Amino acid sequence: MASVDASSDTIDTRRAAVADTRAARWRNRPRLLALAALIGCVGVFLLARWLADPLQLNAHWQVGAGGRVELAPGASANTLKPHAGKSLVAVSAAEERLDLSDALVLQRSPRWMIDDELRERHRQLHAKAGALLAQPSPSLHFGDGTRVDAPLQRLGFDGLGGVFWLLSAIAFALYLSATVMVLAGASARNLLYALIALCQAGNLLFIASASTPRLALPHLLIDWDMPLRMGFDLVSAAAAVQVCSLYAVRQRAARFAAMGAWAGAAVIVALQVAGQLSHAWWWTQLGVLALCGVALAILSAAYRAQPHPLVMQLRRFGTVVVATWALLTFALAFTGRIPAAPSQLVGVVSTIWYVFLASLLLLVPFLARSQQILREFSLLAAISTVAASLDLVFVDLFELGQFASLTLSLFIALAAYAGARQWILNQLLTRNMLTTERMFEQLYRSAREVEAHPDRAPRLMMALLHECFEPLQAELGRDVLTHARVEDQGSSLVAPVPALASDAQATGAGTSVRLRHAQRGRRPFSIDDARLADRIVEQLRRAVAFDRAVEQGRNEERSRIAQDLHDDIGARLLTLMYKAQSPEMEEYLRHTLKDLKTLTRGLAKGNHRLSHAAAEWKADLAHRLTAADIALGWNFSVDRDVALNVVQWSALTRILRELVSNTIAHAGAGRVDIALHLEGDGLVLSVTDDGIGRDPLRWSHGLGLGGVRKRVKQLGGEVEWLEVAPVGIACRVRIPALLSGA
């Protein structure tokens, strides 16, 4: 026994230690996030300083009409302003000269050059131009024969340009998003998301560094742009395959697919770094496309096996990503060796693509939240990529004019935007499945049932939320909540069950309703859904409180009426009974006074136990039938004793009295058999006599029988009269949901 106690103490100690560790980790997370943000800011600052600090040519360049390098208007150096618009043909320094036959030097990134030879020429061109412009006195040679000494100076942070700071800010946001996901929990999904986000942040930083207004880029950027950015894209695609494999039903096959994805990406990157990979651009584009296709196939199989809203949304966003990537690859592939003029458009298209992917990565953790601006920005970035890619295709492949190409590209892109928005974004928005009228009806019914049966509140709440959101799964939990919340990236919605009675245990206080996969797994839950659930909880609480207030008012009014009947009518009947002129009149008044007493007692009492009510009915009917010289057969059976409210008690009392009164007055019977059975929520009442009545279908239903039908209908039941062999009439009353309406 002592060993058991010691073991229990050890387990409790370990649990307490784990809880303390988690609490300490939660307390340290804001500090770690602040430290990570500081490191990111320092990193961006050091990158900006590395780009802005060296002496360099202070001038802005553009591609001229002939595909040559031209000095753009607004050059910063005063000595260059008179030469604005002239084409630059060469750069020289210390007896060395570099001829510029085209605008290839203005191509910012080797990553988006298809041809290996062109990429190598681009690298050598930037290396030689950078070496010449680093000399003490470089010169610029223009097409009109003029030679100008290049003014070298430090650009400073302001000279880096707005594009650099914008792309750096997006990269910093991706870095922080990755940090937050890691700090939220070191799960496989979070770590893979962080890896993808950091890779794309690296892509954006490369693009930002290449966007600075300088003629020659640093050799580190040129040398490492292709291998690193190629690695970023392939690693991101392989990580996406592994993320999707976490949702797969056949985990073994998915693991093999993920391992193959990582192996393929590693081989391609290793060959490129070693300089042994020819056609590197094609390997990168098709490799990413193949890996993304595998990821989509895994998601599709997982969704077919078990619908999941997050899987569906990832598949839809993945489809958009793959389609955009394929279109961009197609556009560049069919433009061949890109001439100088469209090369600037190539840089713009690739930049927009990475901005789109970054915005999509920033959106993924917030699929269950109302991030309308971020969602619209992501789609607009995707559609901009589509428009620019189509413009490349139409200009180069179909030889359309610039205006016609741009117009057709925008038209197709806007049509794609409208379709994609309807397909993706509308699925993320809350759809209330209940109309206002139906919601009010459901709330009212639930409130009435909760009022009668407080222990049913959790089940009723679950049924109400189930009809509203149509989840794949719904279950009760023991979470203690004050407000509804969305969990598991929108997969689950947890709503509290309101405390609807003074006894918290009886009403299921501390009980919650957990819903999974809204609209049969077609969309995730959102913050709007949580707000709607909170409103439903509050309205149910108010409906119950209102119903209780109404019922309290009814009880008070019934008590007042019962008291008035007892004091006024009862006193008058008692006086008349003492002054009766014959024993028959005295007996009649005494019976009437007894009926009045029963009526007033029933009105004043809120609920009646069925067994007590049956005993009163039997005594009353036996007295009346005995006076009429009619025998009574009584059969009462219930599976449990239940409570009747005043309406039910009053209706059943009057139904029995009316049926017995009709038998006494019209049947000429010698015996009446009354059977009362309660099974589950339903009540069956039958009154059978051996009188002379026949053919009940031809009876004219006056106030008596009409009153019976009306009261049975009020209780939600049905009544019928039947002939009984050899003689007599049977009246059967069935109330299938007596207790549900209690």
pLDDT at position 205: 94
Looking at 2.30.42, 2.40.50, 1.20.1440, 3.30.43, the CATH number of the domain 55-154 comes to 2.30.42
Separation of alpha carbons 347 and 207, rounded Å: 9
- Count Cβ neighbours within 10 Å for each residue of 537-567 and write b for 16 or more, e otherwise: bebbbebbeebeeebeeeeeebeeebeebbe
Overall fold of domain 607-742: Heat Shock Protein 90 (3.30.565)
pLDDT mean over 477-489: 80
User: What residues pair up with 494 in beta bridges, in sequence order?
Assistant: 485, 514
The pLDDT confidence band at residue 198, using thresholds 50, 70 and 90, is very high
Give residue for tokens 């742009």.
Answer: 225
pLDDT of residue 416: 67
Residue 507 has pLDDT above 50, yes or no: no
Q: How far apart are CA 281 and CA 277, in angstroms?
A: 10
pTM flag (> 0.75): no
Confidence of residue 233 (pLDDT cuts 50, 70, 90): very high
Confidence of residue 508 (pLDDT cuts 50, 70, 90): very low
Q: What percentage of the chain exceeds 70 in pLDDT?
A: 75
Question: Of the ranges 46-55, 364-373, 425-434, which is most confident?
Answer: 46-55
At residue 445, the pLDDT reads 74
- Mean pLDDT value of segment 687-691: 91
Average pLDDT, the chain: 79
Domain coordinates in residue numbering, the chain: 55-154, 310-426, 430-605, 607-742
**Strand pairing partners for 492?**
487, 516
* Sequence-ordered list of residues with C-beta below 8 angstroms from that of 236, at least 6 positions apart, any chain: 195, 196, 199, 200, 288
pLDDT band at 436 (very low <50, low <70, confident <90, very high): low
* 716 Ramachandran zone, left/alpha/beta (phi>0; psi -120 to 50): left
Is the peptide bond preceding residue 339 cis, with omega within 30 degrees of 0? Answer: no
Residue-level pLDDT at 168: 94
**How far apart are the C-alpha atoms of 392 and 657, rounded to whole Å?**
92
Of 682 and 510, the one with more pLDDT: 682
Provide the 3-class DSSP secondary structure of residue 58: coil
Q: Among positive and negative, which fits the CA dihedral 40, 44, 49, 51?
A: positive
The arithmetic mean of pLDDT across residues 464-476, rounded, is: 82
